[in-house]
Amino acid sequence: MVTGMLRVMLVDDEPFILQGLKVLIDWKKEGFEIVRTAADGQEALDYLREQQVDLIIADIKMPVMSGIELLGKIRTEHISEAWFVLLSGYADFNYAQQAIAYKCTEYILKPVLKENLMELLHRILELSDQQQRRQQETRRNERAYLARTLIALVQGRFDDTDLTYVCSHMHLSAGVRYIELRMRGVQADEEITDEEKRSSQKKIQDACSEFLKRDAEHCIMDVSGEDYDIGFIYCDALAKEAQLEEHEYLESFLDFLRGIVNLPVVMIVGKKVQDIAEIAKSYASACILRSCQGFREQKEICFYEEDVQVGMKGTVLCKDSLDALLHAIEENDHACIMKTVDLFYQEMQRLGVSEKMMSLNINYLLFYLVHLASEQDSGVNQEEILRLISENTSEKGILRGSKAHFCRFACTYGDYLMQLRGKVSKGVISEVEREIHEHYAENLTLKDLSEKYYINTAYLGQLFHRQYGQSFKDYLNEIRIEQAARLLKRTDDRIYQIAEQVGYHDIDYFVNRFIAAKGCTPAKYRKQTAAK
């Protein structure tokens, strides 16, 4: 487990003892490297103020500064947390007491025997291994907590404590945007398994970390809770440090990702806000922009200010056609919908409408559809419904933004509005809950369940969120984690086996979800519950 050589300092005022320790064993073979020798504690202290070592072996009695004094200095002044071994020809319990008070690792007598030194070094290696595991677990917990807190900010569910924590653990500045990184078409493609989607998402996340380096925490997974999305918290300082303009920086970021992961990654760029405290506004604008992307061929980078905000200020050319289509959708008259869609596209063609003006007319329709649904149920996230319906009606062989796609979308949205007015029975939610509890280890998807119970996918997801206060995927993950916790307490199965049993085929993803839910790793949870 230990990586690299452990750095060792030998401290003794007798040169032949120093030489004897150096040749007594093959240090490198055992995983250690002697980087410094010193004749007294002061000389050692001067070195330690500038350099770090992992292990100090020092004589207890030396001129200028003794080993005990050196140990006391580095501990009280927080100069080094290295493992400290005291050598002495005196079997004096008082010395041992002082050494223990200053967190001495070991206290052994001269002359040092090879067997004793080897035993000591093996123990140090074991301690180093344990320390690295603790540090890795601490870092993993900290990353999971920061990501969870950052998602709360993005979704507008935070307090001053959350805001302070995020600001103190991230490199932030003014000029903040929420940017969604997503794989073109992958989220809505039901032929791609969840495992494949998760694998692609992780590749993008790893590539983001490689590009951002010390600012890797600016990227977070699963912000929406429903898609395999990645959120990127942009701030002007990132582009400034790279000595690039904002557009240049984002283009270089996207080029880097595509070169590493070889996937069709796109950026949905929310509007710029003053600082991280307003990130929820930027996130909301990115959601609106994402909804509109369902009706046009996506660009590699889409900006809210350019694609939505500016367009909404223009003039709608075909208001009569669109109003007729709105009425047909509201009545859920599929025949009329198909007829009015055809008339709308004929009018667009007759007028020679540009792509930009086409988008403007469609945006007009989309926002009125959201308004219609909100009148029926103001508690549902209608922008999310719009996006999900758009993506799920854009299948292979149907061009995004085409008349066929638009027609399918309009008919599906009409079905949704009808179900919304009918207030679909909570019995369906109960059936979905039962399915989850009985088949949590299987590849359950909201789309499969919606087809089984004859209800619109997007609406079922929103009903589920209202009933349980969380998304379908979060609820499914919660059930899986609870079952994993039960198996950790009641069985001796390995962690990866338990992950498989409850439906996770990616061990890292399982561990991260477990930490988010329980506050510790599965291994630590097992140890804690076993001790009770």
Convert 445-489 into a string of H (helix), E (strand) and C (coil).
CHHHHHHHCCCCHHHHHHHHHHHHCCCHHHHHHHHHHHHHHHHHH
What ranges make up the beta strands (E) of 13-157? 32-38, 55-59, 83-88, 106-109
Q: Is the dihedral of CA 518, 520, 523, 526 positive or negative?
A: negative
Q: What digits encode the pLDDT tens for the residues 260-308? A: 888 788 898 998 999 999 998 898 888 777 766 655 556 788 888 776 6
- Name the band, by pLDDT with cuts 50, 70 and 90, for residue 310: very low
What pLDDT sits at residue 187?
47
Q: What digits encode the pLDDT tens for the residues 400-412? A: 557 787 788 888 8
Which of 27-31, 37-41, 325-329, 494-498 is predicted least confidently?
A: 325-329
Q: What digits encode the pLDDT tens for the residues 491-508? A: 989 999 999 999 998 888
Confidence check: pLDDT of 350 > 60? yes
Nearest CA to 447 out of 439, 458, 438, 436 is that of 458
Q: Do the beta carbons of residue 367 and residue 440 sit within 8 Å?
A: no
Please provide residue 11's backbone torsions phi and psi, each rounded to the nearest 5 degrees: -130, 115
Select the highest-mean-pLDDT range: 64-73, 314-323, 414-423, 447-456. Answer: 64-73
CA angle 443/446/447 to nearest 5° reads 100
Could you tell me the two tokens for 414?
Answer: 């009409």
What pLDDT sits at residue 404?
80
Q: Do the beta carbons of residue 62 and residue 41 sit within 8 Å?
A: yes
What pLDDT sits at residue 311?
42
Distance CA 504, CA 524 (A): 19
Q: Exposed/middle/buried for 107, CB within 10 Å: 0-12, 13-18, 19+?
A: buried
Confidence check: pLDDT of 1 > 50? no
CATH numbers and ranges of domains, the chain: 6-134 (3.40.50.2300), 170-304 (3.30.70.270), 310-423 (no CATH), 428-532 (1.10.10.60)
| Antiparallel, parallel or unpaired: β 176-183 and 219-221 | unpaired
For residues 527 and 423, the model is more confident at 527
Task: Give the rounded distance of the alpha carbon of 485 from its chain centre.
Answer: 22
Q: Do the beta carbons of residue 239 and residue 248 sit within 8 Å?
A: yes
Per-residue CA distances from 282 to 130, 178, 408, 503 (Å): 43, 5, 30, 34
Confidence check: pLDDT of 313 > 50? no
Residue environment code for 485-512, b if the CB has 16+ CB neighbours within 10 A, otherwise e: bebbeeeeeebeebbeebbbebeebbbb
Residue 343, number of CB atoms within 10 A of its CB: 15
What pLDDT sits at residue 315?
47
Nearest CA to 475 out of 520, 434, 523, 423 is that of 434
| Antiparallel, parallel or unpaired: β 265-269 and 219-221 | unpaired
Mean pLDDT of 383-405: 59
113 CB-near residues (< 8 Å, 6+ apart): none
* Maximum separation of any 2 CA atoms in the chain, in Å: 103
- DSSP 3-state of 188: coil
pTM recorded for the entire structure: 0.57
Which residue has 């990132």 as its token pair? 238
Distance CA 190, CA 256 (A): 28
Residue 179, number of CB atoms within 10 A of its CB: 24
Distance CA 356, CA 490 (A): 61
